[in-house]
Amino acid sequence: MRVFLSVSALFLLVSPAFAAPPVKQTVKATFASHQTVTEKQAAGVYDLSSMSAFSGTVTQFLPAPDGGVLGLLLNGDTEVLVSPEIGHTLSGLIKVGDHISLRGVKAYTLPVIRAFAITSPRGRSVQDSLMAVPQHSPEMIIGPDIVVHGEIAMPLYNLGGQVSGVILKDHTLIHLIPREATRLAAWLKPGQSVYAVGTGNNGVLGTAINAREIGPAADRKEAVAISNVPLSGPAAGSAGYDVISGAE
């Protein structure tokens, strides 16, 4: 009996040793665990596999004067334009120097691609929902003037294929409304020097301004119309603001 109890006690003492010891498993984190909500929805509602596929190296971002992102420059010569929906997440998805892949449509003759899905070299992606984005009036950019100057590398295009400014060789963006870009086309050719003044943003993604004055040199610049100037008339909140002309 004494032996039996001793053996039983021994069994109880050592029985935990027969259980599988906890093993520290190195679990490779999946990309999904690091993706943002927008990236997790990258599959989207629509199948974009029928769209043309492109790839290349990110040369720079294309910042907007208000601090947003309009797209990126691919391989130093192709502008990849995106919706505001993608633009909001683009800087967190890729970086300059990344070799990325994307799906979209290319302009017939312009060096422009409208991208609807972008995938980083780390396997993370973002896709346009293809839902209509409400169009809001441009916000007034308030702040000190930013002066930029340098050699023009290439025209800057908008989603409609219109020239809407220039990209300098130092990666600065000068934004103009299309009609002013057309009027000043002789000053905006690649290889020429340009000097511009306007409000904008000088951040980690680059410098971008809405030009208020522009020219080939500081002493040869002229005033230009800008897109975010309030319409003429009484100021909001003034006595005449709600008066409709001819309705009295």
Query: Per residue in 99-119, pLDDT tens?
Result: 999 999 999 999 999 999 999
pLDDT of residue 142: 60
Taking residues 154-166, what's their average pLDDT? 97
- For residue 21, what are the CA distances in angstroms to 9, 15, 18, 26, 43? 21, 12, 8, 15, 40
Between CA 212 and CA 182 the distance in angstroms is 15
**8 A C-beta contact, residue 138 and residue 28:** no
Numbered ranges of CATH 2.40.50.140 in the chain: 37-127
Between CA 194 and CA 176 the distance in angstroms is 13
Between CA 112 and CA 99 the distance in angstroms is 18
Between CA 51 and CA 95 the distance in angstroms is 24
In CATH, which of 1.10.10.410, 3.40.50.1820, 2.60.40.2220, 2.40.50.140 is domain 37-127?
A: 2.40.50.140
pLDDT value at 80 more than 90: yes
Structural class in CATH, domain 146-223: mainly beta
pLDDT value at 17 more than 80: no
Between CA 147 and CA 221 the distance in angstroms is 12
Between CA 170 and CA 147 the distance in angstroms is 14
Secondary structure of 121-167 as H, E, C letters: CCCCEEECCCCCCCCCCCCCCCCCCEEEEEEEEEEEECCCCCEEEEE
pLDDT value at 59 more than 80: yes
